Structure 1
Amino acid sequence: MPYRMQLFVDISTLLKPLADYAEILLHIKKTLSAEMSPIIVVGASYGGREVASSAPILYFDNITPSNAYYDLVSKDFREASESCYKTIKQSWAEIDKAAAGKKWTYCSLLKDVSELKDYLEFMYTGAAQYDDPQEYPVNKACEGIDGDSEGTYTLGRIFSGIVALRGENSCHDVDEFFSDETLDSSWGWQTCSEMVSPIGIGKNETMFQADPFYLTEYRDSCNKSFGVVPRPHWITTYYGGHDIRVVLKRFGSNIIFSNGHRDPCSSAGVLENISDNIIAVTTKNSSHCLDIQPATEDDPEWLVMQRKIEMDMVHDWFLKYSADLLQN
């Protein structure tokens, strides 16, 4: 096995970081003579922990509809501007015809029009997922798209939206997010081996072209890139996921699932309370992992309150733990 691939196997499996966490925490508690001290674990996105921020734990094994992520991206843009949404929706067919026209200058030769489509898709999904209140990139992109003078052709408007997001550049690097180094990553290996999320775009009312998830094609791609065969049922077999309300209610405690409804990952998150101490904290306008980002003076009141709710819950966990220790 090539060294780089062996490295992925050695350090990038889900079991490895969990074991490392346990070893490190036990060592710290022993070193500090704090064996009886409680531990609160905070994690974000795929690494959700007790305070699980934006953790899409239900995007496995067809628990969540394949379209859900892109449905929410489209909803974010549509709420920002109906005309922006329609322009993006119409642009894909135009790109097929014109490969972006005269306004676009590429940093390297465009080998296939799909490269440009992938680049734009990545820009739109990133704007929606990280639509933070300091920047609101979805609004920024739509302001660029809608701000062109009347009569500007569709791809010219798309160009203006990208300029609004990325600024003026001498050329556009459509490979920016898709270099060999980026693709040949531990995350790519994980999603090909252990964490198969069947995210796709079906024939629905999104602003994207249809691109369904097909396991056979995904299997071929993973085998070509990493020499591994996806195991789509492994993660739910090992950790659960189906009937999560019943399972967690019986075997879980002290978990906060926090999600913002503008974050596409919330489509696969836990959005309702499961028990008295497995709580869902949701906000209408929050984006991906925003609640565990450093606080700023410009944070909106709803974000301040979300963090306070979460910290009050954690404080209650400490009080209950301390009371239980005294009783024993």
Structure 2
Amino acid sequence: IVLQISKMNLPVITVAALILLCGDASGFFNTRTTREPVEFIPKSRSNVQTLWVTQRLDHFNAQDDRTWEMRYMSNEEHFKSGGPIVIYIGGEWTISAGALLGGQQFDIAAKHNGYLFYTEHRYYGKSYPTPDTTTQNLKYLSVDQALADLAYFVEYVKTEVAGLKDSKVIVVGGSYAGSMAAWFRLKYPHVCDIALSSSAPLLAVADFYKYHEVVGKALKSESGERCYQIVQEGMKQMQQVMATSTGPQEVAKLFNLCKPIDPKNALDYASLASGIADMFAGIVQYHNRGDIEATCEYLQSSADAPNGNELSALGDLFKSRSSSNCDDAQYSATVAAYKNTFWNSSSATSAMRQWFYQTCTEYGYYQTDSSSNQPFGSGLNTLELYINLCKDLYEDVFTNNAENILNDGIERTNVVYGALSSAVDRVIYTHGTIDPWHAIGLLEEINTESPVIVVKGTSHCKDLQSISANDSEEMKAAKERVLELVNKWLQE
């Protein structure tokens, strides 16, 4: 999802992103995690219905009878009685009708006379389980609760929609929702028959340094060594300049920052470094043909211009991708922006307060510069930044215990859901080699009933789009293989 910058003076920071649009005051708070992971070309003009279903707030406490309304959408255009239930799973974003009018999930429903649904994840979009997003209320935000929501949703539609009582269930998801699809089949095999898991990060990990390694490799593979070198040298030059007495002012001017950062403030410095790296991460993760090449051509032209160098090229690119009057790289600005707990605040509408909470309690996924095999500097964007955000955004029990909560949550996620060793069957795992998230996805088959399909040269969740004339032969073959497997399993 290609990075866009909000038209406000925003904090510059990134956070463990999967999937990017900055909301008001969200800056670079890694919006790759807060929008739908792929756009679909409509193949239908059918009317999509928006509906609501009552869910329990806490599925695992029988003494708590509080409920809330979960939003979902449906398309019955191709449905015939007995056809499958096809659910496109919503992740950390606001659902929209487009996912029910095109894509692999639409094609599966069309071919097999299925009833197509799109479920919205609790705490995202318009699905508000609690009055606000205080830390106390966010404790009901977890993948365990979200998967239980899905299970009860299936039971609900089988009961309430005529012709679905004995229908098989197919779930489709991309990115975090891709993990949910695989985990739903694992945890509720009596409810779910088939899962398509695209670009799913199944391994929870605190320091996800491999993310930036893949970004660096993509810059090389798609545009050549020179692009990688410009980024690498530009980051080195920034560290050298920042060490001088006038350096902070010079860097602030180059990147159009609202105010210079203090190089002695590790969290401010990390915020800036993270924002620069995330600019490239967004381009790579949501790469369409020519995107990386165009970016690298811009960098080279800027670096080779009279009075230009690698650092000024990074600044030029950064400014060209911002529509703000200036960008705020101060850590305190990010904390202030995302501590607001009201549903109508930018911290909630951007979904970043909710998603970062999940990273603090279940996944990590923090994209640092701790590897030497990436071009985004060294010792700047460290795990310390993200642990401090967990402390400062959620306070309460996190203030003195954030690192333990993070590590315990990651361990639990991997133990409960199997990480990269789950032997669940009838799950199709797909990945693209340019997508940085494939580095913590399942890349080798554990059993023949859960095939892994890796498509060379493609990015995040692209395989979820319908087959098109623009597909490479490898991509077309991958999509056809998915449809063949679904057809085979439905007939068995």
TM-score range, shorter chain: 0.7 to 0.9
- Is 1:9 the counterpart of 2:139? The answer is yes
1:76 and 1:213 map into 2 onto residues whose CA distance is 20
- State TM-score, norm by structure 2: 0.56
- Residue 9 of structure 1: how far off its partner (Å): 2.1
- Residue 314 of structure 1: how far off its partner (Å): 0.9
- Matched residue SS, 1:257: strand
- Matched residue SS, 1:277: coil
Contact 1:105 1:170 in 2 (8 A): no
Contact 1:271 1:280 in 2 (8 A): yes
- State TM-score, norm by structure 1: 0.81
2:177 pairs with 44, 47, 64, which one? 47
Q: Give the aligned length.
A: 305
Give the 3 Å change call, closer, same or farther, for CA 241–100 of structure 1 in structure 2.
Answer: same
Contact 1:144 1:162 in 2 (8 A): no
1:138 maps to amino acid = I
Give % identity.
Answer: 22
- Matched residue SS, 1:200: coil
In structure 1, stretches of 5+ residues that fail to align are: 321-328
2:367 and 2:310 map into 1 onto residues whose CA distance is 28
1:51 and 1:239 map into 2 onto residues whose CA distance is 16
2:219 pairs with 65, 68, 77, which one? 77
Q: Which residues of 2 match residues 1-328 of structure 1 at below 5 A?
A: 3-5=132-134, 6-10=136-140, 12-31=141-160, 32-48=162-178, 49=181, 50-60=195-205, 66-79=208-221, 80-96=223-239, 97=241, 98=247, 99-100=250-251, 102-106=253-257, 108-112=258-262, 114=269, 115-133=271-289, 136-148=290-302, 149-151=304-306, 152-162=308-318, 166=321, 169=323, 171-174=325-328, 179-180=337-338, 181=347, 185-197=353-365, 199-211=367-379, 218-227=386-395, 228=398, 229=402, 230=406, 231=408, 232-241=410-419, 244=421, 247-248=422-423, 252-293=424-465, 298-320=470-492
**Higher RCO (CA < 8 A, seq sep 6+):** 1
- Matched residue SS, 1:25: helix
Contact 1:143 1:161 in 2 (8 A): no
Contact 2:283 2:292 in 1 (8 A): yes
- Residue 20 of structure 1: how far off its partner (Å): 0.9
2:458 and 2:201 map into 1 onto residues whose CA distance is 15
Give the 3 Å change call, closer, same or farther, for CA 224–163 of structure 1 in structure 2.
Answer: closer
- Matched residue SS, 2:200: coil
Give the 3 Å change call, closer, same or farther, for CA 205–57 of structure 1 in structure 2.
Answer: same
| Structure holding more helix per residue | 1
Give the 3 Å change call, closer, same or farther, for CA 94–171 of structure 1 in structure 2.
Answer: farther
1:39 and 1:284 map into 2 onto residues whose CA distance is 30
Deviation digits for residues 287-307 of structure 1, max 9, x if unmatched? 011111466654444333322
Give the 3 Å change call, closer, same or farther, for CA 297–7 of structure 1 in structure 2.
Answer: farther
How well do the aligned residues superpose, as a CA RMSD in angstroms? 3.1
Give the 3 Å change call, closer, same or farther, for CA 175–41 of structure 1 in structure 2.
Answer: farther
1:216 and 1:124 map into 2 onto residues whose CA distance is 22
Contact 2:219 2:292 in 1 (8 A): yes
In structure 2, stretches of 5+ residues that fail to align are: 1-129, 182-194, 242-246, 264-268, 339-346
- Matched residue SS, 1:78: helix
2:418 maps to amino acid = G
